[in-house]
């Protein structure tokens, strides 16, 4: 077989998510009253990147065969923190951004430390830490409010050269600066190996713990970038519990749509990004076809079910039924 076939097989999940997104987005823009214009793309992009960042965060943890139910809450906490800190002069704003991102990184690192060194299950750990992060967010912003450096916010949510959505450029930059180095580093490979077969990885002398820790910590960082962007869009901070939970659950949906295996060891954050964008487009589709917004959750659920079923076909090939349970 040729190299490109292996590449294709490896990227199948990502390409499938990309395909689903392109089809849906094409249907969306061709039915939109304004059509495929810079404005429509910018709005869609600004809505999409929020979930995309959170889904990237989720991907890192899911690759290690874990799950992070606190990503939505880190997203809220950093939003509330940004509404206090990312203000004032250029220097002050820069300091604020660093502090917000550092907080996200710390939140992720705490998750990782508890899961890896405390040997607790990721699901329990992150439910608990998620509640703590939400609690802090609520103390920071008991009521919606605050502000943000509007020059920065407008620049990052606007358009470059009048056509390219700036938020999309930032997303690309984050992929290049965070995801690509991680996925190609020894730690990234350790995270994949630990997710696929922790025992085999251990027997091969792979730095499992450091790999998993890096995945959890970077997940916190990515969720914080999402939180920062939420502040740029809304100009405020709000500890909205329902919204935090929705982002957590949607991030899992996006990850699955993007071809990342919940059993670990397989998938890419780029797939998850397209999963997130596709998931967001479902809502928009309903809008252009004049459906009642009440239909949205049901519709999203059906799409998700179909996408997930595609991944289950492999089970039909199993010849020893005990392998179903491995």
Partner 1 sequence: MDGAVPLFRMEGISKRYGGVRALEKAKLSVTSGSIHAILGENGAGKSTLIKVMAGVVAPDEGRMMLDGSEVTFASPAAANQAGIVCIFQELSLVPELSVADNIVISDPPKRFGMIDRKAQRRIAEEALARAGAADIHPLALVKDLPLSRRQIVEIAKALARKPRILILDEATSALTAADVAKIFGVLKRLRSEGLALLYISHRMNEIAELADQCTVFRNGRNVASYAAGTKSDNEVVELMIGREYSHIFPPKPVRAPATAAPVLEARKLSWTDRLDNISLSVGAGEVVGLGGLDGQGQRELLLAFFGVLRGLSGQILIDGRPATIASPAAARDDRIGMALIPEDRKTEGLMLPMTVRENLSFAALDRLSRAGIIDRAAEQRLIDDMVALLAIKTAGLDIPVGALSGGNQQKVVIAKWLMRQPRIILLNDPTRGIDVGTKQELYQLMRKLADQGAAILFYSTDYDELIGCCDRVLVLYDGAVKRELVGAEITERALIASALNIHGEEMAVRGMAKTPARGMAKTPARGADA
Cβ closest to partner 1, residue 119 vs residue 319: 319
Cβ closest to partner 1, residue 283 vs residue 311: 311
Q: Where are the beta strands (DSSP E) in 77-141?
A: none
Q: State the minimum distance, in angstroms, from the CB of residue 10 to partner 1.
A: 7
Structure tokens at 76: 């809220």
Q: How many residues does the chain have?
A: 326
Structure tokens at 136: 């802090």
Cβ closest to partner 1, residue 201 vs residue 307: 201
Cβ closest to partner 1, residue 73 vs residue 206: 206
| H helical segments located in 175-314 | 180-184, 186-196, 198-203, 208-234, 241-257, 269-288, 296-310
What single string gives the DSSP state of each residue in 186-221?
HHHHHHHHHHH-HHHHHHTT--HHHHHHHHHHHHHH
**What span, in angstroms and rounded, lies between the C-alpha atoms of 294 and 278?**
19
Q: State the minimum distance, in angstroms, from the CB of residue 317 to partner 1.
A: 9
Provide the binding-site residues for partner 1, judged by CB under 8 A: 1, 3, 6-7, 9-10, 181, 184-186, 189, 192-193, 195-197, 199-206, 261, 264-266, 318-322
Q: State the minimum distance, in angstroms, from the CB of residue 200 to partner 1.
A: 5
**What span, in angstroms and rounded, lies between the C-alpha atoms of 133 and 236?**
18
Helix axes 269-288, 38-63, angle to 10 degrees: 140
Q: State the minimum distance, in angstroms, from the CB of residue 263 to partner 1.
A: 9
CB of 265 within 8 A of CB of 196? yes
Cβ closest to partner 1, residue 143 vs residue 263: 263
Q: Is 165 helix (H, G, I), strand (E, B) or coil?
A: strand
Q: State the minimum distance, in angstroms, from the CB of residue 279 to partner 1.
A: 24
Q: State the minimum distance, in angstroms, from the CB of residue 220 to partner 1.
A: 21
Structure tokens at 38: 């810079």
Cβ closest to partner 1, residue 47 vs residue 210: 210
Cβ closest to partner 1, residue 173 vs residue 200: 200
Q: State the minimum distance, in angstroms, from the CB of residue 141 to partner 1.
A: 38
**What span, in angstroms and rounded, lies between the C-alpha atoms of 81 and 231?**
9
């Amino acid at each position: 077989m040729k190299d490109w076939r292996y590449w294709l097989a490896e990227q199948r999940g990502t390409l499938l998510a990309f395909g689903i997104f392109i089809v849906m987005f094409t249907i969306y823009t061709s039915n939109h009253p304004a059509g495929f214009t810079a404005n429509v793309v910018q709005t869609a992009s600004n809505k999409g990147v929020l979930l995309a960042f959170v889904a990237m965060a989720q991907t890192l943890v899911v690759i290690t065969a874990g799950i992070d139910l606190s990503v939505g809450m880190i997203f809220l906490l950093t939003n509330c923190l940004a509404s206090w800190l990312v203000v004032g002069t250029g220097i002050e704003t820069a300091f604020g951004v660093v502090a917000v991102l550092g907080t996200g990184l710390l939140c992720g690192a705490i998750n990782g430390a508890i899961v890896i060194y405390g040997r607790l299950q990721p699901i329990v750990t992150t439910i608990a830490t998620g509640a703590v992060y939400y609690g802090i967010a609520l103390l920071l912003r008991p009521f919606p409010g605050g502000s943000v450096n509007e020059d920065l916010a407008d620049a990052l949510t606007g358009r470059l050269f009048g056509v390219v959505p700036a938020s999309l450029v930032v997303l690309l930059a984050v992929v290049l600066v965070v995801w690509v180095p991680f996925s190609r580093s020894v730690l990234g490979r350790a995270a994949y190996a630990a997710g696929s077969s922790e025992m085999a990885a251990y027997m091969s002398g792979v730095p499992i713990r450091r790999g998993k820790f890096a995945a959890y910590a970077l997940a916190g960082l990515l969720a914080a970038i999402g939180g920062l962007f939420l502040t740029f869009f809304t100009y405020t901070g709000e500890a909205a519990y329902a919204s935090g939970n929705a982002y957590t659950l949607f991030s899992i949906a996006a990850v699955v749509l993007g071809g990342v295996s919940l059993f670990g060891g397989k998938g890419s954050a780029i797939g998850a990004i397209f999963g997130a964008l596709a998931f967001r487009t479902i809502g928009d589709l309903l809008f252009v076809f004049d459906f009642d917004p009440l239909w949205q959750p049901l519709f999203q659920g059906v799409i998700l079910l179909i996408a997930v079923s595609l991944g289950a076909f492999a089970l039909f090939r199993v010849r020893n039924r005990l392998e179903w349970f491995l």
